[in-house]
Amino acid sequence: MNQPMFRMKLPNRNTLLSYVYVSDQLMQVLRGSIQGFQFIDIWDSEVSWRQAEEKYERMCQQIDLSLSQTFDFNTAQDYVTKNVGKLVYSGKWAIKADKQGEILLGTLKIDGEYDWITPLYYPPVILSLTWGIKEKKRMPLLSKFLRF
């Protein structure tokens, strides 16, 4: 308590965990003055776990509701392979192909970004999901001026 920086010891052992934990106040000071560190929020006392889970579920539902065209996993793989850089979504999951044609699997994080991996195999749950492309937001005013 009231410690700006600390490490944790495993219970019943003398082993210190390798992670260093810092307070919000220290993190704000360090973010502006050092480079080469990555700060990861692991707990927010102002947001309950239930609120975070509800927010995450809403994010996943919004993704599914925003899909303009849907298809199965095999079609999703074909799409991203032919359209490098494009993403295909299903709830908390996303896939894309890199420049070498490798399929990357992404998992949605609470901050709205994705953690990407090159899977050795696909989790069976994703094979039966409905996948899709997000609808493009139209800009009617701009498109009126861009007609030739």
Q: Report how far residue 96's alpha carbon sits from residue 116's, in angstroms, rounded to the nearest whole number.
A: 9
Q: Which of 2, 1, 5 is nearest to 29 (CA)?
A: 5
* The predicted structure's pLDDT at residue 75: 95
- Which tokens belong to 46? 């102002």
pTM exceeds cut of 0.95: no
Q: To which H or E segment does residue 27 belong?
A: helix 24-31
* The predicted structure's pLDDT at residue 23: 81
- Which tokens belong to 91? 């709830």
- The phi, psi pair for 73, rounded to 5°, reads -65, -40
- pLDDT tens digits in sequence order for the chain, 148 residues long: 678 888 888 887 778 888 788 887 888 888 778 877 777 777 666 667 788 888 899 999 999 999 999 999 999 999 999 999 899 999 999 999 998 989 999 999 888 899 999 999 998 999 999 999 986 654 444 444 444 3
Task: Output 50-55 pairs: Cβ under 8 A, ≥24 positions apart.
Answer: 52/110, 55/110
Q: To which H or E segment does residue 103 belong?
A: strand 103-108
